[in-house]
Amino acid sequence: MPRAFGRATPWFEQLVHVEIGLEER
């Protein structure tokens, strides 16, 4: 499971940043 979690980290972080950007706007 750690491998999948590591791979899912990048896109998950991107989603978080996108949500923050939308909230800022």
What tens digit of pLDDT does each residue of 7-18 get? 667 778 888 888
Predicted pLDDT of residue 7:
67
Hey, what are 25's tokens? 């706007």
DSSP string, 4-22: HHHHHHHHHHHHHHHHHHH
Predicted pLDDT of residue 19:
86
Distance CA(25)–CA(14), nearest Å, equals 17
Predicted pLDDT of residue 4:
62
Predicted pLDDT of residue 2:
58
